[in-house]
């Protein structure tokens, strides 16, 4: 079973549906924690890489779903609903579905009600921290559901990061949108700050270093500020995912009856970036800013970009 921990028969059986950029390290950490894990992915080869570490590979969501806890980590709400519907007849009453994808609050609430009609429990538990956080099991996990089911889920979630119960079903997604609004807006303003430093004649790397440790310090300035200086836009969190989340922020704001003018502006910036690149890291918001400032460029390195 490689370097992973021996599976513990007393722990709940887990199905993990979606072995992508984030799902692979998250599922790997569950194996390391000793959970008996069945995994499924639409492209089976991505799931097969976990077989040497002790995972059972399922050929369909239904074949995976005979478990105590079913975790989904998929692209968006429609995919989550479609996969759960494929598995629904195999999910036993009393089982717990934990959706760790980023979806709309309304989609999480709809899934909660659909499962409740079959006696199946639900928690929405989206994450923040990117691939590095997933690999290090340090993800911020925002959970929406009942206190009873959160207590049941907490040991499992703690194998992947730091879970916090933020309210009833759907509120995990709302908390994730709050997170993504702060991330998106901060990425936008860090890009503008580095551009201002460069265009004004200062060394942007030195400016970043000078302001770190003061009130402008943030994880975004630390990690993504360096990415912008290095012009390394290979994906951690992708532009298309950030854009989707910001669109969902505006939907949540409308549903709550409030106006968020800065969120609207940041969302428009990411909309403008999508035709330039959609698969790049979200720090590529710098490219949108440079597109609107012809002849201005931060740093001297060649761009590192994924194939679109």
What are the sequence ranges of the domains in the chain?
Answer: 14-168, 174-291
Taking domain 14-168, whether its CATH number is 3.40.50.720 is answered by yes
Residue 1 has pLDDT above 70, yes or no: no
- In tens, the pLDDT along 164-200 reads 999 999 999 999 999 999 999 999 999 999 999 999 9
* Phi and psi torsions of 303, nearest 5°: -70, 135
> Is the per-residue pLDDT at 277 higher than 60?
yes
Q: Name the residue among 17, 126, 1 with its Cα closest to residue 81.
A: 17
Residue 73 neighbours by CB under 8 Å, 6+ apart: 16, 17, 18, 19, 20, 22, 23, 26, 100, 101
Question: Considering 176, 240, 244, 296, which one is annotated as catalytic?
Answer: 176
Closest residue by Cα to residue 126 from 252, 285, 277, 263:
252
Mean pLDDT (the chain) is 94
261-268, long-range: CB < 8 A, 24+ apart: 262/185, 263/181, 263/185, 266/181, 266/184, 266/185, 266/188, 267/184, 267/243
At 70, give phi and psi (nearest 5°): -115, 120
* pLDDT tens track for 132-155: 899 999 999 999 999 999 999 999
Concerning whether 24 is annotated as a catalytic residue, the answer is no
Of 73, 75, 74, 48, the residue nearest 59 (C-alpha): 48
Tell me whether domains 14-168 and 174-291 share a fold: no
Look at residue 73 in the predicted model and tell me its pLDDT: 97
Question: Which tens digit of pLDDT belongs to each residue from 259-271?
Answer: 999 999 999 999 9
On the CB side of 140, CA atoms within 13 Å amount to 14
Q: Quick one: pLDDT at residue 6?
A: 61
**pLDDT band with cut points at 50, 70 and 90 for residue 2:** very low
Asked whether 276 and 170 are in contact (CB, 8 A), the reply is: no
pLDDT at position 307, please?
Answer: 87
Determine what percent of the chain is predicted with pLDDT higher than 70: 98
pLDDT digits (tens, 9 = 90+) for 231-253: 999 988 899 989 998 999 999 99
Residue 97 has pLDDT above 90, yes or no: yes
| pLDDT at 51 > cutoff 80 | yes
pLDDT in tens, 70-91: 999 998 999 999 999 999 999 9
In angstroms, the CA 276 to CA 268 distance is 14
174-291 is classed CATH 3.40.190.90: no
């Amino acid at each position: 079973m490689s370097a992973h921990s021996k599976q513990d028969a007393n722990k709940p059986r887990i199905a993990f549906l979606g072995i992508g950029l984030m799902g692979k390290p998250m599922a790997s950490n569950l194996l390391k924690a000793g959970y008996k894990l069945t995994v499924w992915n639409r492209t089976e080869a991505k799931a097969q890489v976990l077989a040497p570490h002790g995972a059972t590979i399922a050929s369909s969501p239904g074949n995976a779903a005979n478990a105590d806890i079913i975790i989904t980590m998929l692209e968006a709400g429609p995919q989550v609903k479609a996969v759960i519907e494929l598995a629904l007849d195999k999910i036993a009453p009393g089982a717990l579905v934990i959706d760790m994808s980023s979806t709309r609050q309304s989609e999480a609430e709809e899934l909660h009600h659909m499962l409740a009609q079959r006696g199946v429990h639900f928690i929405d538990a989206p994450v923040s921290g990117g691939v590095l956080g997933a690999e290090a099991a340090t993800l911020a996990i925002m959970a929406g559901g009942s206190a009873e089911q959160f207590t049941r889920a907490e040991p499992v979630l703690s194998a992947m990061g730091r879970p916090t119960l933020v309210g009833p079903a759907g509120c995990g997604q709302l908390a994730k949108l709050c997170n993504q609004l702060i991330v998106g807006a901060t990425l936008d303003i860090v890009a503008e700050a580095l551009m201002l430093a460069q265009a004004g004649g200062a060394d942007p790397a030195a400016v970043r270093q000078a302001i770190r440790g003061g009130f402008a310090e943030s994880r975004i300035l630390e990690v993504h500020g360096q990415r912008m200086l290095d012009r390394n836009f290979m994906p951690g969190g992708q532009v298309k995912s950030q854009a989707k989340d910001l669109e969902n922020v505006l939907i949540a704001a409308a549903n709550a009856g409030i106006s968020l003018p800065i969120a609207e502006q940041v969302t428009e910036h990411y909309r403008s970036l999508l035709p330039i690149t959609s698969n790049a890291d979200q720090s590529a918001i710098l490219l949108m800013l440079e597109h609107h400032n012809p002849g201005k460029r931060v740093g001297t390195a060649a761009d590192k970009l994924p194939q679109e």
